[in-house]
A and B are shown apart, each in its own frame.
Chain A
Amino acid sequence: MTFSSGVLGRLAVLGLLGGIFQLTTVSQVSIFGVPADLSPLLVASVGFLTGSVSGAVFGFCLGLFVDTVLLQTLGVNSLVFTGIGYGAGRVRELRDPAHTLAPVLVGAAATAIAAVGFSLLQFLLGVEAPVSLQLLRQILMTIVLNTLLALPVYAVCRRVLLPFLPDDPRRRRRRAYTTGGLSPLSRA
Protein backbone atom coordinates (compact mmCIF):
# COMPACT_ATOMS: atom_id res chain seq x y z
CA MET A 1 0.00 0.00 0.00
CA THR A 2 1.38 3.37 -0.98
CA PHE A 3 1.07 6.25 1.44
CA SER A 4 -0.51 9.11 -0.43
CA SER A 5 -1.81 12.25 1.22
CA GLY A 6 -5.32 10.86 0.72
CA VAL A 7 -4.76 7.74 2.72
CA LEU A 8 -2.89 9.65 5.41
CA GLY A 9 -5.76 12.12 5.64
CA ARG A 10 -8.31 9.37 5.91
CA LEU A 11 -6.29 7.57 8.55
CA ALA A 12 -5.96 10.82 10.51
CA VAL A 13 -9.70 11.48 10.31
CA LEU A 14 -10.46 7.89 11.21
CA GLY A 15 -8.16 8.04 14.22
CA LEU A 16 -9.41 11.45 15.36
CA LEU A 17 -13.11 10.69 14.96
CA GLY A 18 -12.70 7.19 16.34
CA GLY A 19 -10.78 8.51 19.34
CA ILE A 20 -13.33 11.24 20.06
CA PHE A 21 -16.24 8.85 19.58
CA GLN A 22 -14.59 6.47 22.00
CA LEU A 23 -13.92 9.14 24.63
CA THR A 24 -17.21 11.02 24.41
CA THR A 25 -19.69 8.24 23.81
CA VAL A 26 -18.51 4.65 23.95
CA SER A 27 -16.62 5.07 27.22
CA GLN A 28 -19.78 6.34 28.87
CA VAL A 29 -21.98 3.44 27.88
CA SER A 30 -21.67 0.32 30.00
CA ILE A 31 -22.75 -3.01 28.62
CA PHE A 32 -22.35 -6.08 30.87
CA GLY A 33 -21.00 -3.62 33.43
CA VAL A 34 -18.03 -2.43 31.31
CA PRO A 35 -17.63 0.06 28.47
CA ALA A 36 -16.34 -1.12 25.12
CA ASP A 37 -12.90 0.04 23.93
CA LEU A 38 -12.87 0.81 20.24
CA SER A 39 -9.24 2.02 20.15
CA PRO A 40 -7.54 -1.40 19.95
CA LEU A 41 -10.17 -2.50 17.43
CA LEU A 42 -9.48 0.52 15.25
CA VAL A 43 -5.72 -0.04 15.40
CA ALA A 44 -6.07 -3.76 14.72
CA SER A 45 -8.44 -3.16 11.81
CA VAL A 46 -6.18 -0.54 10.23
CA GLY A 47 -3.14 -2.76 10.70
CA PHE A 48 -5.00 -5.74 9.30
CA LEU A 49 -6.13 -3.76 6.26
CA THR A 50 -3.06 -1.68 5.48
CA GLY A 51 -0.07 -3.59 6.81
CA SER A 52 2.37 -3.63 9.70
CA VAL A 53 4.15 -0.30 9.17
CA SER A 54 1.03 1.80 8.74
CA GLY A 55 -0.65 -0.17 11.51
CA ALA A 56 2.22 0.56 13.89
CA VAL A 57 2.26 4.28 12.98
CA PHE A 58 -1.53 4.53 13.29
CA GLY A 59 -1.38 2.74 16.64
CA PHE A 60 1.35 5.02 17.92
CA CYS A 61 -0.55 8.16 16.89
CA LEU A 62 -3.90 7.01 18.27
CA GLY A 63 -2.23 5.93 21.52
CA LEU A 64 -0.52 9.29 21.81
CA PHE A 65 -3.83 11.05 21.16
CA VAL A 66 -5.64 9.03 23.82
CA ASP A 67 -2.84 9.54 26.35
CA THR A 68 -2.76 13.25 25.66
CA VAL A 69 -6.46 13.89 25.82
CA LEU A 70 -6.97 11.77 28.92
CA LEU A 71 -3.93 13.34 30.63
CA GLN A 72 -2.44 9.90 31.15
CA THR A 73 1.23 9.01 31.21
CA LEU A 74 2.41 9.67 27.67
CA GLY A 75 3.74 6.67 25.83
CA VAL A 76 1.78 3.90 27.56
CA ASN A 77 -1.02 3.57 25.04
CA SER A 78 1.39 4.48 22.23
CA LEU A 79 3.61 1.55 23.09
CA VAL A 80 0.76 -0.93 23.43
CA PHE A 81 -1.08 0.22 20.29
CA THR A 82 2.13 0.26 18.27
CA GLY A 83 2.56 -3.40 19.06
CA ILE A 84 -1.07 -4.16 18.22
CA GLY A 85 -1.00 -2.34 14.89
CA TYR A 86 2.25 -3.96 13.91
CA GLY A 87 1.07 -7.40 14.97
CA ALA A 88 -2.24 -7.13 13.12
CA GLY A 89 -0.38 -6.03 9.99
CA ARG A 90 2.04 -8.93 10.24
CA VAL A 91 -0.89 -11.36 10.50
CA ARG A 92 -2.17 -10.06 7.17
CA GLU A 93 1.29 -10.04 5.57
CA LEU A 94 2.27 -13.50 6.70
CA ARG A 95 -1.02 -15.43 6.70
CA ASP A 96 -3.42 -13.37 4.58
CA PRO A 97 -6.46 -15.01 6.20
CA ALA A 98 -9.42 -15.04 3.84
CA HIS A 99 -12.03 -16.09 6.35
CA THR A 100 -14.75 -13.52 7.02
CA LEU A 101 -14.37 -13.92 10.77
CA ALA A 102 -10.60 -13.34 10.76
CA PRO A 103 -11.07 -9.67 11.84
CA VAL A 104 -13.08 -10.89 14.82
CA LEU A 105 -10.22 -13.03 16.04
CA VAL A 106 -7.73 -10.25 15.38
CA GLY A 107 -9.96 -7.78 17.24
CA ALA A 108 -10.36 -10.10 20.22
CA ALA A 109 -6.63 -10.72 20.39
CA ALA A 110 -5.90 -7.01 20.04
CA THR A 111 -8.27 -6.20 22.92
CA ALA A 112 -6.74 -8.88 25.12
CA ILE A 113 -3.21 -7.62 24.37
CA ALA A 114 -4.27 -4.01 24.96
CA ALA A 115 -5.98 -4.77 28.28
CA VAL A 116 -3.23 -6.98 29.63
CA GLY A 117 -0.44 -4.79 28.24
CA PHE A 118 -1.94 -1.62 29.64
CA SER A 119 -2.41 -3.20 33.06
CA LEU A 120 1.12 -4.59 33.02
CA LEU A 121 2.61 -1.23 32.15
CA GLN A 122 0.58 0.45 34.85
CA PHE A 123 1.91 -2.03 37.39
CA LEU A 124 5.43 -1.51 36.12
CA LEU A 125 4.98 2.24 36.54
CA GLY A 126 4.00 1.67 40.14
CA VAL A 127 0.32 2.47 39.95
CA GLU A 128 -1.10 0.83 43.04
CA ALA A 129 -4.05 -1.33 42.17
CA PRO A 130 -4.83 -4.78 43.52
CA VAL A 131 -4.95 -7.65 41.05
CA SER A 132 -8.48 -8.59 41.91
CA LEU A 133 -11.04 -10.91 40.42
CA GLN A 134 -13.03 -7.83 39.52
CA LEU A 135 -10.18 -6.52 37.37
CA LEU A 136 -9.86 -9.86 35.60
CA ARG A 137 -13.61 -9.98 35.11
CA GLN A 138 -13.57 -6.48 33.63
CA ILE A 139 -10.80 -7.41 31.23
CA LEU A 140 -12.66 -10.52 30.21
CA MET A 141 -15.94 -8.68 29.69
CA THR A 142 -14.20 -5.99 27.62
CA ILE A 143 -12.70 -8.70 25.42
CA VAL A 144 -16.12 -10.30 24.96
CA LEU A 145 -17.76 -6.97 24.18
CA ASN A 146 -15.02 -5.93 21.77
CA THR A 147 -15.21 -9.29 20.03
CA LEU A 148 -18.85 -8.54 19.28
CA LEU A 149 -17.93 -5.10 17.95
CA ALA A 150 -14.87 -6.19 15.97
CA LEU A 151 -16.70 -6.94 12.76
CA PRO A 152 -18.65 -3.63 12.52
CA VAL A 153 -15.51 -1.62 13.34
CA TYR A 154 -13.53 -3.53 10.73
CA ALA A 155 -16.30 -2.92 8.18
CA VAL A 156 -16.22 0.84 8.85
CA CYS A 157 -12.42 0.98 8.57
CA ARG A 158 -12.51 -1.06 5.38
CA ARG A 159 -15.13 1.24 3.88
CA VAL A 160 -13.11 4.34 4.75
CA LEU A 161 -9.88 2.93 3.35
CA LEU A 162 -11.36 0.98 0.43
CA PRO A 163 -10.14 3.24 -2.40
CA PHE A 164 -6.56 2.90 -1.21
CA LEU A 165 -6.53 -0.80 -0.55
CA PRO A 166 -4.79 -3.12 -2.99
CA ASP A 167 -7.30 -4.74 -5.34
CA ASP A 168 -8.71 -7.89 -3.86
CA PRO A 169 -8.96 -10.59 -6.58
CA ARG A 170 -12.40 -11.67 -5.38
CA ARG A 171 -13.68 -8.07 -5.49
CA ARG A 172 -12.21 -7.58 -8.93
CA ARG A 173 -14.00 -10.66 -10.20
CA ARG A 174 -17.33 -9.53 -8.78
CA ARG A 175 -16.92 -6.11 -10.38
CA ALA A 176 -16.23 -7.68 -13.75
CA TYR A 177 -19.50 -9.60 -13.69
CA THR A 178 -21.63 -6.66 -12.65
CA THR A 179 -20.17 -4.32 -15.29
CA GLY A 180 -20.91 -6.63 -18.16
CA GLY A 181 -17.89 -8.83 -18.09
CA LEU A 182 -18.22 -12.47 -18.83
CA SER A 183 -17.80 -15.10 -16.23
CA PRO A 184 -15.22 -17.80 -16.86
CA LEU A 185 -18.06 -20.26 -17.24
CA SER A 186 -19.88 -18.31 -19.98
CA ARG A 187 -16.62 -17.82 -21.82
CA ALA A 188 -16.07 -21.53 -21.78
Chain B
Amino acid sequence: MHDKVVRRRRAVLAALVVLSLFLLTAYFGESSGGPLHAVQRTTMEVVAPIQEGANRALKPFRDLFGWFGDTLDAKEERDKLRAERDALGKELAEVTVQKRELEQLKGLEEINSAGGLAAYEPVTARVIARSPSSWYQTFQINKGSSDGVRVDQPVVNSAGLVGKVKEVSDGNALVMLLTDPEFGVSARSLESGEPGSVHPAVGAAGDLRFELVPNAKEVRRGERIITAGTSTSARVSDLESLYPRAIPIGTVKRIEAGEGELDRVIHVEPAADLHSLDLVEVLIEPGADLRAQAP
Protein backbone atom coordinates (compact mmCIF):
# COMPACT_ATOMS: atom_id res chain seq x y z
CA MET B 1 0.00 0.00 0.00
CA HIS B 2 2.80 2.37 0.99
CA ASP B 3 4.75 1.53 -2.14
CA LYS B 4 1.70 2.28 -4.21
CA VAL B 5 1.35 5.70 -2.63
CA VAL B 6 5.03 6.44 -3.15
CA ARG B 7 4.88 5.26 -6.76
CA ARG B 8 1.81 7.39 -7.36
CA ARG B 9 3.41 10.43 -5.82
CA ARG B 10 6.58 10.03 -7.84
CA ALA B 11 4.61 9.42 -10.98
CA VAL B 12 2.62 12.61 -10.49
CA LEU B 13 5.79 14.60 -9.88
CA ALA B 14 7.52 13.09 -12.88
CA ALA B 15 4.48 13.72 -15.06
CA LEU B 16 4.29 17.35 -14.02
CA VAL B 17 8.00 17.93 -14.52
CA VAL B 18 7.89 16.26 -17.92
CA LEU B 19 4.82 18.28 -18.85
CA SER B 20 6.54 21.48 -17.78
CA LEU B 21 9.65 20.64 -19.76
CA PHE B 22 7.53 19.70 -22.75
CA LEU B 23 5.66 23.00 -22.57
CA LEU B 24 8.90 24.87 -22.16
CA THR B 25 10.56 23.19 -25.11
CA ALA B 26 7.53 23.39 -27.34
CA TYR B 27 6.87 27.01 -26.49
CA PHE B 28 10.48 27.96 -26.97
CA GLY B 29 10.70 26.13 -30.26
CA GLU B 30 7.53 27.40 -31.93
CA SER B 31 6.98 30.70 -33.66
CA SER B 32 4.85 33.47 -32.21
CA GLY B 33 1.94 32.20 -34.30
CA GLY B 34 2.17 28.68 -32.87
CA PRO B 35 -0.64 26.91 -31.01
CA LEU B 36 0.78 27.48 -27.52
CA HIS B 37 1.15 31.17 -28.19
CA ALA B 38 -2.40 31.24 -29.52
CA VAL B 39 -3.70 29.50 -26.38
CA GLN B 40 -1.75 31.97 -24.29
CA ARG B 41 -3.23 34.94 -26.14
CA THR B 42 -6.75 33.57 -25.89
CA THR B 43 -6.38 32.92 -22.17
CA MET B 44 -5.02 36.39 -21.71
CA GLU B 45 -8.00 37.87 -23.54
CA VAL B 46 -10.36 35.91 -21.32
CA VAL B 47 -8.59 36.84 -18.12
CA ALA B 48 -7.94 40.48 -19.09
CA PRO B 49 -11.44 41.77 -18.13
CA ILE B 50 -11.21 39.96 -14.80
CA GLN B 51 -7.81 41.48 -14.26
CA GLU B 52 -9.11 44.90 -15.19
CA GLY B 53 -12.03 44.58 -12.78
CA ALA B 54 -9.78 43.33 -10.03
CA ASN B 55 -7.34 46.09 -10.80
CA ARG B 56 -10.06 48.71 -10.29
CA ALA B 57 -11.58 47.04 -7.26
CA LEU B 58 -8.24 46.65 -5.54
CA LYS B 59 -6.98 50.13 -6.39
CA PRO B 60 -7.72 51.56 -2.91
CA PHE B 61 -5.81 48.69 -1.37
CA ARG B 62 -2.91 49.28 -3.73
CA ASP B 63 -3.03 53.01 -3.09
CA LEU B 64 -2.92 52.41 0.64
CA PHE B 65 0.19 50.29 0.32
CA GLY B 66 1.55 52.72 -2.21
CA TRP B 67 1.04 55.50 0.30
CA PHE B 68 3.10 53.63 2.88
CA GLY B 69 5.78 52.96 0.29
CA ASP B 70 5.73 56.55 -0.93
CA THR B 71 5.98 57.80 2.63
CA LEU B 72 9.02 55.63 3.26
CA ASP B 73 10.55 56.69 -0.05
CA ALA B 74 9.74 60.32 0.67
CA LYS B 75 11.43 60.10 4.05
CA GLU B 76 14.50 58.58 2.49
CA GLU B 77 14.48 61.20 -0.22
CA ARG B 78 13.97 63.94 2.36
CA ASP B 79 17.04 62.78 4.31
CA LYS B 80 19.05 62.63 1.11
CA LEU B 81 17.93 66.10 0.07
CA ARG B 82 18.68 67.47 3.51
CA ALA B 83 22.21 66.12 3.33
CA GLU B 84 22.53 67.57 -0.15
CA ARG B 85 21.17 70.92 1.02
CA ASP B 86 23.65 71.02 3.92
CA ALA B 87 26.52 70.22 1.58
CA LEU B 88 25.37 72.87 -0.89
CA GLY B 89 24.89 75.38 1.92
CA LYS B 90 28.45 74.78 3.05
CA GLU B 91 29.70 75.09 -0.50
CA LEU B 92 27.70 78.28 -1.01
CA ALA B 93 29.08 79.80 2.17
CA GLU B 94 32.59 78.95 1.02
CA VAL B 95 31.99 80.42 -2.42
CA THR B 96 30.41 83.54 -0.90
CA VAL B 97 33.41 84.06 1.35
CA GLN B 98 35.75 83.52 -1.57
CA LYS B 99 33.74 85.93 -3.70
CA ARG B 100 33.80 88.57 -1.02
CA GLU B 101 37.50 88.14 -0.55
CA LEU B 102 38.02 88.35 -4.28
CA GLU B 103 36.03 91.57 -4.42
CA GLN B 104 38.04 92.98 -1.55
CA LEU B 105 41.30 91.95 -3.20
CA LYS B 106 40.10 93.56 -6.41
CA GLY B 107 39.25 96.73 -4.47
CA LEU B 108 42.63 96.73 -2.80
CA GLU B 109 44.34 96.23 -6.13
CA GLU B 110 42.37 99.15 -7.51
CA ILE B 111 43.18 101.45 -4.63
CA ASN B 112 46.84 100.44 -4.90
CA SER B 113 47.11 101.26 -8.57
CA ALA B 114 44.50 103.97 -9.19
CA GLY B 115 44.58 105.42 -5.67
CA GLY B 116 48.37 105.49 -5.65
CA LEU B 117 48.79 103.45 -2.49
CA ALA B 118 51.28 101.13 -4.15
CA ALA B 119 53.97 103.67 -3.35
CA TYR B 120 53.50 103.04 0.37
CA GLU B 121 54.38 99.36 0.01
CA PRO B 122 51.10 97.88 1.18
CA VAL B 123 51.15 94.49 2.88
CA THR B 124 47.91 92.58 2.49
CA ALA B 125 46.71 90.94 5.69
CA ARG B 126 43.78 88.81 6.71
CA VAL B 127 41.64 89.67 9.72
CA ILE B 128 41.95 86.68 12.04
CA ALA B 129 40.24 87.87 15.20
CA ARG B 130 38.01 90.69 16.26
CA SER B 131 37.21 92.36 19.50
CA PRO B 132 34.02 90.91 20.95
CA SER B 133 32.81 94.45 21.57
CA SER B 134 29.92 95.42 19.35
CA TRP B 135 31.88 98.39 18.20
CA TYR B 136 34.78 96.32 16.87
CA GLN B 137 37.36 98.84 18.02
CA THR B 138 40.28 96.49 17.56
CA PHE B 139 41.01 93.48 15.44
CA GLN B 140 43.93 91.18 14.84
CA ILE B 141 45.67 90.54 11.52
CA ASN B 142 47.93 87.74 10.39
CA LYS B 143 50.90 89.91 9.52
CA GLY B 144 53.45 91.13 12.04
CA SER B 145 56.91 92.54 12.47
CA SER B 146 58.43 89.79 10.33
CA ASP B 147 56.41 91.21 7.43
CA GLY B 148 57.57 94.75 8.09
CA VAL B 149 54.54 95.82 10.12
CA ARG B 150 55.28 98.39 12.82
CA VAL B 151 53.25 100.23 15.43
CA ASP B 152 51.28 103.27 14.17
CA GLN B 153 51.36 102.24 10.51
CA PRO B 154 48.06 103.04 8.76
CA VAL B 155 45.68 100.27 7.85
CA VAL B 156 43.34 100.65 4.88
CA ASN B 157 40.93 98.61 2.83
CA SER B 158 39.52 99.19 -0.62
CA ALA B 159 37.08 101.84 0.68
CA GLY B 160 39.51 103.89 2.69
CA LEU B 161 41.16 104.31 6.06
CA VAL B 162 40.41 101.59 8.60
CA GLY B 163 42.73 102.41 11.49
CA LYS B 164 46.31 102.02 12.58
CA VAL B 165 48.54 99.32 14.00
CA LYS B 166 48.40 99.37 17.78
CA GLU B 167 50.59 96.45 18.77
CA VAL B 168 52.85 94.12 16.86
CA SER B 169 54.20 90.66 17.49
CA ASP B 170 56.34 88.56 15.21
CA GLY B 171 53.54 87.13 13.07
CA ASN B 172 50.46 89.12 14.13
CA ALA B 173 49.40 92.64 14.80
CA LEU B 174 46.60 94.36 16.63
CA VAL B 175 44.85 97.12 14.71
CA MET B 176 43.00 100.01 16.32
CA LEU B 177 39.94 101.07 14.36
CA LEU B 178 39.37 104.72 13.57
CA THR B 179 36.30 104.57 15.81
CA ASP B 180 38.47 103.87 18.84
CA PRO B 181 38.34 106.76 21.33
CA GLU B 182 42.13 107.07 21.20
CA PHE B 183 42.22 107.50 17.46
CA GLY B 184 42.82 110.77 15.65
CA VAL B 185 43.94 111.78 12.20
CA SER B 186 44.63 115.09 10.50
CA ALA B 187 42.19 115.49 7.66
CA ARG B 188 40.94 117.76 4.93
CA SER B 189 37.62 118.17 3.19
CA LEU B 190 38.09 117.27 -0.42
CA GLU B 191 35.84 119.78 -2.15
CA SER B 192 36.21 122.87 0.10
CA GLY B 193 39.78 122.06 1.06
CA GLU B 194 39.22 122.90 4.76
CA PRO B 195 41.74 121.33 7.12
CA GLY B 196 40.91 119.80 10.48
CA SER B 197 41.16 116.57 12.36
CA VAL B 198 38.92 113.55 12.64
CA HIS B 199 38.12 111.90 15.97
CA PRO B 200 35.54 109.35 17.03
CA ALA B 201 32.35 110.76 18.51
CA VAL B 202 32.14 109.84 22.18
CA GLY B 203 29.19 107.60 22.98
CA ALA B 204 28.14 107.13 19.37
CA ALA B 205 29.59 103.96 17.91
CA GLY B 206 30.67 104.28 14.30
CA ASP B 207 30.30 108.06 14.24
CA LEU B 208 33.28 110.35 13.56
CA ARG B 209 33.66 114.10 14.00
CA PHE B 210 35.53 116.50 11.79
CA GLU B 211 36.83 119.02 14.29
CA LEU B 212 39.06 122.05 14.57
CA VAL B 213 37.96 123.29 11.18
CA PRO B 214 38.78 127.02 10.75
CA ASN B 215 36.02 127.77 8.24
CA ALA B 216 33.52 125.11 9.18
CA LYS B 217 30.69 126.90 7.39
CA GLU B 218 32.40 126.08 4.10
CA VAL B 219 32.01 122.38 4.66
CA ARG B 220 28.90 120.92 3.07
CA ARG B 221 26.90 117.81 3.71
CA GLY B 222 28.00 114.89 1.51
CA GLU B 223 31.50 116.27 1.18
CA ARG B 224 34.31 113.72 1.29
CA ILE B 225 36.92 113.85 4.01
CA ILE B 226 40.42 112.58 3.26
CA THR B 227 43.69 112.35 5.16
CA ALA B 228 45.71 115.55 5.08
CA GLY B 229 49.11 113.92 5.06
CA THR B 230 50.39 116.34 7.68
CA SER B 231 50.38 116.16 11.46
CA THR B 232 47.84 118.96 11.99
CA SER B 233 46.96 121.80 9.70
CA ALA B 234 49.00 122.98 6.82
CA ARG B 235 49.33 126.39 8.42
CA VAL B 236 51.31 125.07 11.38
CA SER B 237 53.92 123.07 9.53
CA ASP B 238 54.36 120.32 7.03
CA LEU B 239 55.24 117.77 9.63
CA GLU B 240 55.19 114.22 8.46
CA SER B 241 51.91 112.55 9.32
CA LEU B 242 51.38 108.94 10.29
CA TYR B 243 49.04 108.74 7.34
CA PRO B 244 49.74 109.42 3.69
CA ARG B 245 47.65 112.09 2.07
CA ALA B 246 44.39 111.63 0.21
CA ILE B 247 43.20 108.38 1.78
CA PRO B 248 39.39 108.52 2.06
CA ILE B 249 38.22 108.69 5.66
CA GLY B 250 34.51 109.22 5.20
CA THR B 251 31.66 111.46 4.09
CA VAL B 252 30.02 114.34 5.92
CA LYS B 253 26.74 112.90 7.14
CA ARG B 254 25.25 115.89 8.96
CA ILE B 255 26.28 119.25 10.38
CA GLU B 256 25.02 120.63 13.69
CA ALA B 257 25.05 124.39 13.78
CA GLY B 258 26.43 126.01 16.95
CA GLU B 259 26.73 129.56 18.35
CA GLY B 260 30.16 130.19 16.95
CA GLU B 261 32.14 128.97 14.02
CA LEU B 262 34.03 126.48 16.13
CA ASP B 263 30.84 125.18 17.71
CA ARG B 264 29.67 123.61 14.50
CA VAL B 265 29.75 119.85 14.81
CA ILE B 266 30.48 117.99 11.58
CA HIS B 267 29.54 114.32 11.68
CA VAL B 268 31.41 112.00 9.37
CA GLU B 269 30.44 108.49 8.35
CA PRO B 270 33.47 106.20 7.82
CA ALA B 271 34.11 105.23 4.20
CA ALA B 272 35.14 101.70 5.14
CA ASP B 273 32.56 99.23 6.41
CA LEU B 274 34.17 98.50 9.73
CA HIS B 275 31.79 95.68 10.55
CA SER B 276 32.79 93.60 7.57
CA LEU B 277 36.53 93.41 7.28
CA ASP B 278 38.25 90.35 5.90
CA LEU B 279 41.25 91.68 4.03
CA VAL B 280 43.13 94.89 4.79
CA GLU B 281 46.41 96.47 3.84
CA VAL B 282 49.07 97.83 6.13
CA LEU B 283 51.04 100.67 4.55
CA ILE B 284 54.50 99.90 5.80
CA GLU B 285 56.08 102.96 4.13
CA PRO B 286 53.56 105.74 4.89
CA GLY B 287 56.13 108.53 4.40
CA ALA B 288 57.35 107.36 1.03
CA ASP B 289 55.90 110.31 -0.90
CA LEU B 290 57.25 112.92 1.48
CA ARG B 291 60.70 111.38 1.30
CA ALA B 292 60.48 111.35 -2.48
CA GLN B 293 59.58 115.10 -2.53
CA ALA B 294 62.39 116.01 -0.16
CA PRO B 295 65.34 117.77 -1.91
Contacts and interface: CB of A to CB of B under 8 A. Distances in A.
Interface string A118-153: 000000010000000000000000000000000000
Interface in A54-79: 56-57, 59-60, 63-64, 67-69, 71, 73-76, 78-79
A64 B23 CA distance: 9
Interface in B27-42: 27-28, 36, 39-41
A60 B16 contact: yes
Contacts of A63: 20
A78 B28 CA distance: 14
Nearest to A93: B9
B27 A73 contact: yes
A52 B6 CA distance: 11
A82 B16 contact: yes
Contact of A78 (B20, B25, B36, B58): B20
A108 to B, nearest CB: 21
Name which of A31, A53, A59, A71 has the most chain B CB atoms within 10 A of its CB: A53
Interface residues of B, number: 35
B58 A21 contact: yes
A71 B40 contact: yes
Given A52-B13, A68-B39, A76 B24 contact: yes
Contact of B21 (A21, A52, A75): A75
B222 interface: no
Given A30-B69, A57-B12, A68 B43 contact: yes
Contact of A74 (B12, B17, B24): B24
B6 to A, nearest CB: 10
B44 interface: yes
Given A68-B39, A68-B43, A78-B20, 5 more contacts: A21-B54, A31-B69, A53-B8, A74-B24, A76-B24
